[in-house]
Amino acid sequence: MQSLKVEGSARIAGRVRIGGNKNAALPMIAALLLTDEEVVLDNVPDILDVRTMLDIAGELGADFSFENHTLTFRCRDVRTASISRELCSRNRTSILFAAPLLARCGKAELYPPGGDVIGRRRLDGHFYGLCKLGAVMSGEETYRFDAPAGLSGRELFLDEASVTATEQILIAAAAARGTTTLYNAACEPHVRDLAELLNAMGARISGAGSNTIEIEGVERLHGCRYRVVGDHIEAGSFLALAAATGGEITVEGTQVRHYWMLRRVFERLGVRMELRGDHIFLPGGQERAVECDFGGHIPQISDGPWPQYPSDMMSCTIVAATQCRGTVMFFEKMFESRIYFADRLISMGANAIVCDPHRVVVTGPAQLHAVTMSSPDIRAGMAMVIAALCARGTSTIHSAEVIYRGYENLIEKLTGIGGKISEIRN
């Protein structure tokens, strides 16, 4: 177990470069099993979740080296089509190995995946997609899939625009016979990035980034070299830190089209930023006053499938709102337990009311004070770090390893822009 010691009243200023997109790199590692040729991925974040996916790939038979954010990967032969319970339990994207195992072995056996505890997270879209493409599912404690004759393309409609279900279907359909058309697909940047990697490997995918994707199955995929896109959630987290502390920051390694909705939401909090091609500049010393709806009504910030506001940004944005003048309601539509982390902010002095599992009303600005707390999930953990940097006094955040699952070199990046934070080994 690891803990963080965080000194408050931070003066944030400087530049930070974001790493590769966590939620793109994880499904990409699963997809690399589709070919027996070498693939090189650049800009891969060195985080715990990536290491877990590589551990799984290694257990399945892959050889790889991972240094300086470059992953060189090859799986000539798959040793087993079964993944251990312990490895499956480490993260949610372990489930994505089902598709490449079916493609390479005609079968797959996995245990229920782990990941953040933020409420019920359905796997129905995965099972629907694989079974409709021709797999037969069985088992109770484990998920067993069999497709000895291979998979075949068809029309599919997801009842929710699930990111990981869309990724599972992309990987499966790329190696299936015939053409698959997927309706109500997820449109997030990391889904599009996965599709572009698959195309670089020889797949024929069109429409990624929209809610209708067409995948023409190919007989064989090959090696390639590909660069993972920058992580817009990491960028948003640092922008929320600067907004909360009144600091000034330049975030490097961004793409403008990934930040339009984020910029609009921050404008609702009275925080402006400038999208400048490959970086974002957020000036310091802003007034930070909530922009009311027409007629003076309390505004609502809610999440939703892309291009709506990402659920992964809600926790950090709620912390930023505690430091803005005015009242705003946050409506977390996608996960039923994520909003409960606001109780920790209330214990720090935030003026907030948790209405129900999905809504919290925040009025600011509030002077936060230091506490000892524990990180329940990756994004809430980062939000607690931001709150601790705003607070008066020194806070301790336990379960730091949860935060490290999604943020690389966090201490170094924060100290580089003025944060006073160190690690405590328990």
Active site residues: 116
Residue ranges for the known binding site are 22-23, 92, 312, 334
Residue ranges for the known binding site for UDP-N-acetyl-alpha-D-glucosamine are 92, 312, 334
Query: Does residue 362 contact residue 327 with C-beta atoms inside 8 Å?
Result: yes
Residue ranges for the known binding site for phosphoenolpyruvate are 22-23
